Amino acid sequence: MGPRDFEVLEHPADIGFRAFGGTLPELFARSALAMLSIAADPAAALPKQEYPLAVESGDRESLLVDWLNEVLYWFDGKRITFRDFRVTQFRDTAIEAVGMGEPRDPLRHRARLIVKAVTYHQLKIERRGGLWVAEVYLDI
């Protein structure tokens, strides 16, 4: 996860990120890692297990929101922390991926902030100079 994979965006009350990817599947995987970096530290998670993730939605924007909400549910509900994602199938209304990670251990996985949810606020997915760029705001 390099510094060019994503950057943090300001919001008066909450926080957002701008993620970059060469392809849409890469953009979606990096967006998930950007969100998890705000909540915790993905690098502290060991890729001990593979978790299958699949989401369908109405269009590309809502697919991104629903995908991130799926990852957040695994993190906050199933208490699994991920190190990385491998997208296996992708179209604008569906994504299938494998999340590499392990069950959360409060002693090894330091939490930063509780991410409540993913919002549609100023949501953007666009192509800029040969790269896919996503901007997403999270409720903190």
Partner 1 sequence: MRIEAIDALRHRIPRDEARGMRTDVIVYASEALMAQIRKDLSLEQAMNVATLPGIVGSSLAMPDIHQGYGFPIGGVAAMDCDEGVVSPGGVGFDINCGVRLVRTTLEEAAVRPRLRELVEQIFRDVPCGVGGSGFVKIGARDLERILVEGARWMVQNGFGEQRDADFSEAGGALEGADPAAVSERARERGLPQLGTLGSGNHFLEVQYVEEVHDETAARAYGIFKGQVVVLIHSGSRGLGHQVCTDYVSVMNQSMAKHHISLPDRQLACGPIRSEEGERYLAAMCAAANFAWANRQAILHFLRGAFQRIFGGAARLDLVYDVCHNIAKRERYEVEGRRREVLVHRKGATRAFPAGHREIPADYRAVGQPVFIPGSMGTASWVLAGAEGAMRETFGSVCHGAGRLLSRTAARKGRNAREERDKLEERGILVRSETRDGILEELPEAYKNVDEVIEVVHNAGLARKVARLRPMGVIKG
In whole angstroms, give the CA distance from residue 11 to residue 123.
Answer: 13
Q: What is the length of the chain?
A: 140
Check binding of 93 to partner 1 (CB under 8 A).
Answer: no
Check binding of 43 to partner 1 (CB under 8 A).
Answer: no
Smallest gap from Cβ 118 to partner 1, in A, equals 7
In whole angstroms, give the CA distance from residue 45 to residue 100.
Answer: 9
- 80 contacts 89 by C-beta, under 8 angstroms: no
Q: Identify which of residues 91 and 108 has a Cβ nearer to partner 1 in the complex.
A: 108
Structure-token pair, residue 125: 């997915």
3-state per-residue secondary structure call for 66-88: HHHHHHHHHHHCCCEEEEEEEEE
Instruction: Identify the residue among 118, 125, 134, 136 touching partner 1 (CB under 8 A).
Output: 118
Check binding of 86 to partner 1 (CB under 8 A).
Answer: no
Instruction: Identify the residue among 2, 13, 128, 130 touching partner 1 (CB under 8 A).
Output: 13
Give the interface with partner 1 as residue ranges (CB under 8 A).
Answer: 8, 10-15, 58, 61-62, 66, 69, 73, 76-79, 104, 106, 109-114, 116-121, 123, 137, 139-140
